Structure 1
Amino acid sequence: MALDAYLIGWRWSDVGGNVEAQFIIATPGFITLHLLSKRRAERHQAEVHARLDAQDEALTDAHAKVAEIHQQLTD
């Protein structure tokens, strides 16, 4: 890392073209990776929310049945 700092800071004229070329080469890959990771995370989050919504619905139904049975037993 120290060598990188030295080359970029004091030897830019020697390494500037290579640094710029690597930036041009690497940037599309980083952008693509970011977009794919974001899409995967959003899909996973949607699946988790769908599962939680289904569980909430099942619990609501179960609570309604328990309340109905409790009402029948207390009448």
Structure 2
Amino acid sequence: MRSHETVTGAIAPELAGHVAAIGCDANTGGRTVCPEASAWAKKTRLEQACIIVTANESADRTVVCALTIFVQFECREGRLPDG
């Protein structure tokens, strides 16, 4: 199984190194990512529909239904979703 970072790099190479995949929920198809700065969070939000489509196309099935996007300070302060 590939790591979150490997998958993120393959799906959105311009985000690789700037956006860390920090969680996933296989039951809901939700993925949680943490960009290193607010500018990368904004870019991820603007491109999230394309990211989801590309992830699903690369898997040949629906594996991602939604992205939860945090900014780095939220990750550092532990403001992550329950579960």
TM-score band by shorter chain is under 0.3
| Larger helix proportion of the pair | 1
**Higher RCO, Cα 8 Å, sep 6+:** 2
Scaled by the length of structure 1, the TM-score of the pair is 0.28
